[in-house]
Structure 1
């Protein structure tokens, strides 16, 4: 019973921050808001809440179910079109992730397995779930993925602006009219 109140407080903080993130239209609000809210309550009140293994297992099952349910028969027909370029892009990102993961592990910054899971492409929820299921520190993995996610989201307007300028200058026909700004 002594752990129930702190656990409920952390869960309430998680839910409250997720709702605030949703209202502010922050991407991935359930994950990012939940993470920030739970961490704020846990750290702000000096708690050391451990979520029971049964709840962690149920959450992992729900994440897997939610991802699996999105796969439809036409998913594989659409996938064929992106197989070659997607494989090339993923291979490059995986190679970079492995290289940096190995470097971080060699420098003693991160545990080798956590470094690899932290730097691999993939969704935040999926990589953290995989790491926790394998017995690694989910906080380290989610921290690295949150840095990646926020960096990408904050730099996206600049990247899109550059892409539009490149297209206008070197790719598009002079007579072609289209949106000037993303």
Structure 2
């Protein structure tokens, strides 16, 4: 019964926060409003919680939505993404080096804790790997949670204030629940389940997102379906995603939050500056716009940044591909690179 109350608190607060942000016309209202309400409640001593199964289902819905952005006409453009992926790799390396050095100096973190707190992606994997190598799991988890929270808040408001870009109404980019056909729903449900199972067996990161996304992308690229998840379901997925971020701060006091906030703000600022610089350089000598490149390079969560791209009317397929590549590379490369650094420093 206590857990049910925690679920009700999280969903109720998320709905209230999302509704308020929607009414006052703030960017990405359902995710950011839910995130704000549940974060404040968690820091205030409440115990909001999002059921893991519900979050997994909603992440799967987001995967289907992201995959629906891969239309057949996209095949001619995918080959031209190599330059941006190379720049992304270089920006990731620079981010990891500078943020690690900053966290060691500004927050006094150990080498292993700072390294895995600075790695730009794969929160669960970085916490587990960093902890296994002797790092502080709580610090690593909080650093990544604050990174995602700050980036998800900063980017949409930055677009609104600096570029005067407003959110695109969800009904214009998604379908409607009233128009949902039975056959389309069954095909996409089957592909989501099959994609998630295969991604889990292949041990892909964020498999509940990447599996349905790749399955949906395959069907759309082949021209077998034009299905898009209804806007009402995507709004619910945003609400659950935002509330789940806020619930990560359960059990954290305002004092502990303040202690972690200073290094997190500095680290996030470094990431944003490097991402913006890389986006500006590439935009200067390519046909890609600065706006879409910034969304592709900023190291927020995969689902969160893709929702931001959707809300701002940017190229969701381009953004989602870059974030999946970023997270996969971080998860694959971070542990062996850290061990190599450790061996080299031990010898010296």
Q: Please state which band the TM-score falls in when normalised by the shorter chain.
A: 0.7 to 0.9
The residue number in structure 2 matching 1:49 is 227
With a CA cutoff of 8 Å and minimum separation of 6, indicate the structure with the bigger relative contact order: 2
Supply the distance in 2 between the matched residues of 1:64 and 1:55 (Cα, whole angstroms): 14
Where 2:226 maps in the other structure, the secondary structure is coil
Contact persistence 2:180–2:230 (CA under 8 A): no
User: Which runs of structure 2 are paired with 1:107-126 in the superposition (5 Å)?
Assistant: 107-126=285-304
Distance in 2 (alpha carbons) for counterparts of 1:82 and 1:162 = 28
Structure 2 residue 221 is matched with structure 1 residue 31: no
Tell me, in whole angstroms, the C-alpha distance in 2 between the residues paired with 1:9 and 1:57: 21
Q: 1:92 to 1:35 in 2, by over 3 A?
A: same
Compared with structure 1, are the counterparts of its residues 93 and 2 closer, same or farther at alpha carbon in structure 2 (3 Å cutoff)? closer
1:93-108 equivalences in 2 (<5 Å): 93-108=271-286
TM-score (norm 1): 0.78
In the other structure, the counterpart of 1:129 is 307
Q: Is 1:155 the equivalent of 2:333?
A: yes
Instruction: Please give the root-mean-square deviation of Cα atoms over the aligned residues, in Å.
Output: 2.5
Q: 1:108 and 1:6, CA in 2 relative to 1: closer, same or farther beyond 3 A? A: farther
TM-score normalised to structure 2 length: 0.44
Aligned 8 A contact 1:17 1:37 in 2: yes
The equivalent residue for 1:85 is 263
Instruction: Tell me the alpha carbon deviations over residues 121-145 of structure 1, each in whole angstroms, 9 at most, x when there is no partner.
Output: 2100111111212222222211111
TM-aligned CA deviation for residue 119 of structure 1: 0.8
Instruction: Please name the residue that 1:58 is paired with.
Output: 236
Alignment partner of 1:71 out of 243, 249, 268: 249
Secondary structure at the counterpart of residue 47 of structure 1: coil
Q: Counterpart of 1:176?
A: none
Once the two structures are TM-superposed, the CA of residue 80 in structure 1 deviates from its matched residue by 3.9
Output aligned runs, 1:14-29, within 5 Å.
14-29=192-207
The equivalent residue for 1:173 is: none
**Aligned counterparts of 2:197 and 2:270: Cα–Cα separation in 1:** 36
Choose the corresponding residue for 2:343, options 131, 145, 165.
165
Q: Mean alpha-carbon deviation: is it higher for 122-131 or for 45-54?
A: 45-54
Residues 48-57 or 3-12, more deviating = 3-12
Question: Does the residue aligned with 1:74 lie in a helix, a strand or coil?
Answer: coil
Quote the Cα distance in structure 2 between the aligned partners of 1:107 and 1:43: 28
Answer yes or no: is the 8 Å Cα contact 1:98–1:116 preserved in 2: yes
Instruction: After superposition, give the CA deviation of every residue in 1:135-159 in whole Å (9 maximum; x if it has no partner).
Output: 2222221111112112212212321
Q: Does the aligned pair in 1 maintain the 2:279–2:294 contact within 8 Å?
A: yes
Q: Distance in 1 between matches of 2:254 and 2:210?
A: 30
Range that drifts further, 76-85 or 140-149: 76-85
**Which moved further from structure 2: 24-33 or 44-53?**
44-53
User: Do the aligned residues in 1 keep the contact of 2:276 with 2:294 (CA within 8 Å)?
Assistant: yes
